[in-house]
Amino acid sequence: MIPDFAKPEFSAAQSWNDIPGYETSMGETKATQVSWKEFFIAPEFHLVIEQALENNYDLKAAALNISEARALYRIERADLLPSLNANGSATLSESSDRSSVTGLARTSELYEANVGVAAYELDLFGRIQSNNESAINAYLATQEARAVIQNALIADTANTYLQLLADQKLLRLTQKTLDAQLRTYDILSQSLEKGVGTSQDLARAETAVETARVNFHQYSRAVAQDKNALFLLMGIPHNEDLLPQTTLDEIIVRDNLDPGLPSEVLLARPDIRQAEYELLSRNADIGAARAAFFPSISLTGTYGFASQNLGELFTSSAAGAWTFLPQITLPIFQAGRNEANLDLAEIRKEKAIVNYEQAIQVAFREVSDELAARKTLEEQLESQRRLVAAAQKVYDVSQARYKSGIDSFLSVLDAQRELYTFQQQEILIERQNLSNLVNLYKVLGGGSQ
């Protein structure tokens, strides 16, 4: 009764989207062939990710969902075989002189022991088998759902850790800039007292100092929040001694992943496999709904012994007894219930097809976006570093010209503000570049093994 399953056609392009002017660099290995410990080369990553995989509550809930689905599958599977029960009973009765037919009071005893099969359904039209197939595919879908959560958890933990390191680097940069601007402010203040400087220069220096202070408070708050988010993902109490000591510049991850072909990569992703198993489960539900239109045959039978004396129940003097009760049920009028159940099963299958195709489209976009970023972020980071070096030269020259009395302090302040801005942007792009590698590993299916 289960319809023949035909996987929906692959609803994505045959190749990843390219960016004009950028070459597609093919790596050496596929993400699904690289464990997360091999991908995250820096040992500091191993500590935080291992804690997350061991303690994260979302992952624990997903594991319990697998156990629940496995138990449901075992329940459905048990219906394929008859259940055998042992039963025992005792009937004791007493009649008075008035109630007895013979007019004499009488006490009677009857003891029975038997083994029986209770209402075993012959699965002639595959209803039980359809339910069993639906349950096994639902179980497999929950396994893939756990892999989806694990895949996302690894990437989220790594990205949160990178964000923490980036904000810590920004905080150190801001502290360094604030210290330099405070020194400049003190020099200008002393110059003003000696009648050399101007009030305008001192006011501009004070503006730069307060701007750096604002940024210092901002990044201090960001670092604290990053730690809170990381400890939540790791599923452990807040204890900063458990965090590895490293910097953003020391972090290394693999950058030689092969994006492969969409038809290979996407169908290996756990979310796509989950959608396919859910589609298979809905397809099997149609078989069960179809079988409800046909007769069902159930068998009930017992075999055992009966005796008026409990001590003789299992001896040769006990009377043998058996029953056999086959029953056939033919649906004649159900007020449209069976038709509605079949319509519901078919609609749910159509929804599963839509979800499957949508999952492929979303996955294609995610991979294309990360590949597009991969092609541009590295070059952007190199350009930004050259920009920072050039801004550093401008700042150094401006300071020299100011000390020589050639330029005003305004040129120094502008150069300092520009350098600080470019240095902040460099750190942000550095973090984006590393996060892109992490996200690319995730969307290519890595970390779900």
pLDDT at position 25: 59
What's the one-letter identity of residue 281? S
Is residue 404 within 8 Å of 428, Cβ to Cβ? no
Residues contacting residue 310 through CB under 8 Å, at least 6 positions apart: 90, 109, 111
Q: How far apart are the first and last CA of the chain?
A: 35
Q: Does the CA dihedral 170-172-175-180 come out positive or negative?
A: negative
Residue type, 349: K
Q: What is the pLDDT of residue 260?
A: 83
Amino acid at 7: K
**Angle subtended at Cα 328 by Cα 122 and Cα 118, rounded to the nearest 5 degrees:** 55
* Buried/exposed 253-289: b ≥16 CB within 10 Å, e otherwise: bbbebbbbebeebbebbbbbbbbbbbbbbbbbbbbbb
Question: For 31-83+125-297+340-443, which CATH superfamily applies?
Answer: Outer membrane efflux proteins (OEP) (1.20.1600.10)
Residues with Cβ within 8 Å of residue 272, at least 6 apart in sequence: 266, 356, 359, 360, 363
Domain borders along the chain are 31-83+125-297+340-443
Cα–Cα distance measured from residue 276 to residue 271, given in angstroms and rounded to the nearest whole number: 9
Q: 35-38: long-range contacts at Cβ-Cβ below 8 A with a sequence spacing of 24 or more?
A: 35/449, 36/154, 36/441, 36/446, 36/447, 38/254
Going by C-alpha positions, the residue among 433, 414, 434 that lies closest to residue 422 is 414
The model carries a pTM of 0.83
412 in the Ramachandran plot: left (φ > 0), alpha (ψ -120 to 50) or beta?
A: alpha
Predicted local confidence at residue 98, as pLDDT = 63
Q: How far is CA 10 from the centre of its chain?
A: 23
Read off the amino acid at residue 64: L
Mean pLDDT split into 10-residue runs, the chain, 449 residues:
81 76 67 90 91 89 84 78 79 68 68 76 81 88 90 93 96 93 84 77 86 94 94 89 88 87 86 92 89 82 76 68 79 81 90 91 90 89 95 92 80 88 95 94 86
Strand intervals (E) in 189-307: 296-307
Phi, psi of 129 (to 5 degrees): -65, -35
Q: Between helices 270-291 and 337-403, what is the axis angle to 10°?
A: 170
Alpha-carbon span 120 to 252, nearest angstrom? 62
Distance CA 186, CA 192 (A): 10
Listed residue (370, 387, 160) closest to 269, CA to CA? 370
**pLDDT at residue number 22:** 63
Instruction: Of 430, 423, 396, give the one whose Cα is nearest residue 215.
Output: 423
Is there a contact between 109 and 238 (Cβ–Cβ < 8 Å)? no
Taking a C-beta distance cutoff of 8 angstroms, is the pair 439, 155 a contact? yes
In contact, 138 and 183? CB cutoff 8 Å: no
CB proximity list for 202: less than 8 A, separation 6 or greater: 185, 188, 189, 192
- Identify whether the C-beta of residue 114 lies closer than 8 Å to the C-beta of residue 90: no
